[in-house]
Structure 1
């Protein structure tokens, strides 16, 4: 630990943990047990407590984070108002064909944490004097759904305990390694106070004696009413000892009680838990799990979708509940992809293909497997994907419904278009999506399947870009953004296209809008930082890159770009710290090692710089930048042969490069090897991006040293023709001297760095 710590309370019993929370003067913790409210069991009640005060005191802060707050807890709309509308939100469930995944949920958690940090800072600033920091307390973290475990891990790492202190209670080590590591690194343990010894129970005791022992039914009821989260040994034993019919009845009663006022959290957590353990798991349990599954899929809770899908499969009779069994299976399978489990996804779809002859099931599975083969398997197998997609397209022809028929067929054509694009058959891909757009426009009412239509148009825009038909692609993106301005990918795709076309302000405006309508996806800030840097907004670029690293320290590209900017700005100390922090995460990353060497070089720590360059080359002997930077260091220390050797090795790796040739020419010139230097300067002058003025000036010195006065005079004239520079007067004097007597020069240029 390198700063003031957050707190952890570890004890197998909840009573002991709660006693420790109280003894330390901490607030009553919220329980994160996933059986209560699903993925955000603890976060939701925490935000319900925090957000109203924040909105009352600084509504602008809440407005700035409205999207992530409402995505996490929709019921906050009663306090802060609705989120901006989006096409997906307004689409009927049965027509939705766009879903989100794990990366968006992680970004949403990051946005909520940013809000909490700023809220805590505002509170500290409003106090006017040091006071108690904002403290958030969570319990049952080891029983939290993986989404919330991830949230807690991010919160512990990012929150400054001097302003936002976090206390976390656990009964065991969390299953998520990221949270287990965060607890070890960012928290310190709190001692457990002794629990009071309970009085000995006497069933015959009268008034003033110990409470009578509870019956089995009372104990079981208490456990059920805890939503199955209780850890009282007697209640657990009573629940286990109760007759199965009694347990089922209790679960039914609790579910009935919860159902009337159930919000999203209850629908995801407690309600399906009780229904699948009640008297009708295959009926009421199946329906409750299906409801929870639809919510989870729509929001993008990948791990919860997998869990609910498997639980739904378990309560289904595969023959009596064929459609539900397939639905639970397919949604669980699809959710396995964003968490990096495509093989398990394939196994579920393959099982469905073996089990059922239903055309729609076979169609759906063939399509899903085709997308796996073309997009997610490594290496991809586009030919196998095409085989499966053709099968799906043929099965779609069997649908006779006048609306579903064209929808299914065009959907399969869209999948074929993706495969053909990846096979390099761009014209066929464009024809498939364009025909699909025309067909839906002709055969469907204008207000049906709007999301699907936007997906077709989006895919057409991408194919048009690949074909180089930029103006048509831009026209499609304009339609998409008018149709659904809240979908971030349209903004980012158009931004990339505008950037390619040289419209940097237009691209920046699209990234700004993407950030305004989205959770803080790191790639948005990374790309905007690059644009800001190109446009001269160095402060903005620094802010964006720092935010990326605050959210995701392992984002190496952002770290490298930030350190490069800092080195350009003359801030090698901070660059060195950033490189060192990156190497803690990736100790064998040659680019970070090279950056650490450059920062040490700028700080005058030459031995450390050389060690860093040597380590980078030990990891990757073909890493050119380390060779070049080590050569610069060697040149400055007078080790010319070493510098020339490293630059020669770099050129052998990369081929002719104007800067490397320039640097080797300088080293050769300093070593008195003027003829070789002239060759390097000449080769560099033939390449785009070369510093022509400096190369001509240096070659003139070398040519003079070789007695080639006329050639030197020509280089000097060419250099002066490029325009005035800091040494124009000196060059003019030298040119006059050469022209007068073509006498050799007595001295060369100063020993500028390579």
Structure 2
């Protein structure tokens, strides 16, 4: 085996995020542009994120926007999309049988660490071997000043490199005067990144330090917004303090209302009202949330052609609320308007596809999911949703392939194991289904859907005690899961307990009436000699009686 390129020093102090990726891309891109330009085009987003400036053609997307208009901060999981895309590009362009040698991996940026993990997991050594040394030569001290650090922090924020934003942002804060404009820029980006990484207490502390250091109204409005979002967006619903979030947003709105510049006032006030709509939505007050979003859309009309991303976000949010209130036609119109504002943003197609799927418009959902897949670096959610649409269209083999793709991209995607295990069990491919169940339960030991499939598999294998334990655990974890009640009812009948079977199947029917449940209960009722009830169930099942 030969080296792909000279050994790469991955120390993040040399180049920052994607030091390893950039070195590989600079080596591979020239030949790739000649031999397979379509592959370069397919992975252009990942290439530009990892090696800015490497491609000399005009960049796609929202590069024309000013700093104040780039309001979307990518989620932390975006780097997994990028890592998968970069892995596929490198695998598609590197000569087989090469070695990528990396030193100083212990000091690499999170992006490179994630990329090396994905490459090691996905690429067989005969395709591309990855050799990693944790240590290596130490680079010289980093003497970049605050201005240079700010340029990097700003770019890392746009790309979603949140770990680098926090590390470099904290250094920038230490080298600037508290309360100054540059200090505020570092503080805002760093606090936002800390929140995105789940380091909520540190983010709150930083927002509070901003409040103590500044007397600028817009800064106080933004800090109040930041503190509110820490409460409103906590991934654990039990940890959210929506009342406190409302208080902070009311303060932000009060300050934004007083801003003297009409354009800044319209934008920031709309931004804050949109955030308050999230609080109302999570309180179940959908109409109040809709009224707030519509008021923000009205304010956005004052902005002319400025802030297109802000207007796109507002349209998507209104579409989601309209859909939740049952106004599907209007919701689809808003999604269409959002797509028109930014045809290259994959998440809008994903959201519109989800609505089409819920409406039973499976072909349209499929088209939107495929557009999202085409526009984005490898996006597990889009493949997962496309599997659902394909299944609804009767394309079982294609659905299984999509679920396999999800697991390949993200081995921690529990719902993909759930769905694939259920499909495989239905196809009587029990050994494969069991492997998925075991992999999923290793990630989520109390997942009721996986436990229900495990119960089915144990029932089919004749291990009734193990099956009963699995169904009991599933029902304890999710008492509203009709499938667990139904399958436990079948198990109880097969185990010689028709009375228990009737009880479980009756509960399943209460939760989710289905003809096959009535048919199964009819069998159990007849075993108990309850002929009239059995005949009634058979009629409901569409059978004789």
Structure 2 equivalent of residue 679 of structure 1: 533
Q: Does 1:109 align with 2:83?
A: yes
- The 3 A distance-change label for structure 1 pair 663 and 428 is closer
5 Å-filtered alignment, 1:188-267, equals 227-228=139-140
* Aligned 1:272-671 pairs, distance under 5 A: 273-275=142-144, 285-318=145-178, 322-376=180-234, 378-379=237-238, 380-441=240-301, 443-444=302-303, 446-599=304-457, 602=460, 605-607=461-463, 610-615=465-470, 617=472, 621=476, 625=483, 628-629=486-487, 632=490, 635-636=493-494, 639-641=495-497, 644-646=499-501, 648-649=503-504, 651-652=506-507, 655=510, 657-658=513-514, 659-669=516-526, 671=527
Residue 77 of structure 1 pairs with residue 55 of structure 2 = yes
- Native 8 Å contact 1:336 1:345 kept in 2: yes
- Give the deviation of 1:662 after TM superposition: 3.1
Distance in structure 2 (CA, Å) of the matches to 1:45 and 1:62: 16
1:170 to 117, 129, 134: 134
Structure 1 pair 310–650 and aligned structure 2 pair: CA distance change class (3 A): farther
| Unaligned 5+ runs, structure 2 | none
- The Cα shift of 1:25 comes to 7.5
Deviates more, 1:388-397 or 1:24-33: 24-33
Q: Is the counterpart of residue 47 in structure 1 residue 25 in structure 2?
A: yes
TM-score, length basis structure 1: 0.66
Partner SS state of residue 99, structure 2: strand
Secondary structure of 1:28's aligned partner: coil
Deviation of 1:396 after TM superposition, in Å, equals 1.5
Shift of 1:417: 3.2
Unaligned segments of structure 1, at least 5 residues:
1-21, 125-132, 173-222, 229-250, 252-272, 276-284, 698-714, 716-754
CA distance in 1, matches of 2:474, 2:536: 34
3-state SS in 1 of match to 2:77 = helix
Residues 627, 484 of structure 1: alpha-carbon distance in 2 compared, 3 angstrom cutoff: closer
State which drifts further: 450-459 or 480-489: 450-459
Paired with 2:66 and 2:3, the residues of 1 have a C-alpha distance of: 48
Task: Report the Cα distance in structure 1 between the residues aligned to 2:411 and 2:467, rounded to whole angstroms.
Answer: 21
2:455–2:467 CA contact under 8 A, matched in 1? yes
Partners of 1:373 and 1:382 within 8 A in 2: yes
**2:41 aligned with 1:63:** yes
Q: Are 1:101 and 1:335, in contact at CA under 8 Å, matched by a contact in 2?
A: no
TM-score, normalized by length of structure 2? 0.89
How far, CA to CA, are the matches of 1:404 and 1:367 in structure 2? 15
Query: 1:616–1:389: structure 2 CA closer, same or farther, 3 Å change rule?
Result: same
Q: Cα distance 1:391–1:524, how it changes in 2: closer, same or farther (>3 A)?
A: same
* Aligned-pair CA distance for 1:315: 0.9
User: How far does residue 34 in structure 1 lie from its aligned partner after superposition?
Assistant: 0.3
Match of 1:165, SS state, is strand
Supply the RMSD in Å over aligned alpha carbons. 2.9
1:257-292 Cα deviation digits (max 9, x unpaired): xxxxxxxxxxxxxxxx222xxxxxxxxx11111111
Q: CA deviation at 1:485?
A: 0.7
Offset of residue 653 of structure 1: 7.2
The alignment partner of 2:100 has SS state of: strand
CA contact (8 A) 1:627 1:646 kept: no
CA contact (8 A) 2:4 2:98 kept: no
Equivalent position SS for 2:16 = helix
Structure with higher Rg: it is 1
CA distance in 1, matches of 2:523, 2:403: 35
Q: 2-side partners of 1:440 and 1:26: how far apart?
A: 51
Q: CA deviation at 1:297?
A: 0.9
Displacement of 1:335:
0.8
| 1:159 alignment counterpart | 123
CA contact (8 A) 1:610 1:630 kept: no
Deviation by residue 1:577-604 (Cα, 9 ceiling, x = unmatched): 32233344445545334434534555xx
Distance 2:365 2:492 in 1: 42
Deviation at 1:331, TM superposition (A): 1.1
1:99 pairs, out of 73, 98, 109, with: 73
Question: SS at the partner of 2:233?
Answer: helix
User: Any conservation in 2 of the 1:593–1:613 contact (CA below 8 Å)?
Assistant: no
Task: Report the alpha carbon displacement of residue 546 of structure 1 after superposing the two structures with TM.
Answer: 0.1
1:89 matched residue in structure 2: 63
From the superposition, tell whether residues 600 and 117 of structure 1 become closer, same or farther in structure 2 (CA, over 3 Å): farther
| 1:450-491 per-position Cα deviation (integer Å, ceiling 9, x unaligned) | 222222222332332233222222222111111101112211
| Mapped contact 2:109–2:164 kept (Cα < 8 A) | yes
CA positional deviation for 1:64: 2.8
State the 1:119 CA deviation: 4.3
Quick check: 2:105–2:113 contact (8 Å CA) kept in 1?
A: yes
Q: Distance in 1 between matches of 2:435 and 2:118?
A: 21
Mapped contact 2:267–2:300 kept (Cα < 8 A): yes
Alpha-carbon spacing, 1:400–1:496, altered in 2? closer, same or farther (3 Å): same
State the partner residue of 1:737: none
Provide the residue aligned with 1:150 in structure 2. Answer: 114
Are the aligned partners of 2:509 and 2:517 in contact in 1 as well (CA < 8 Å)? no
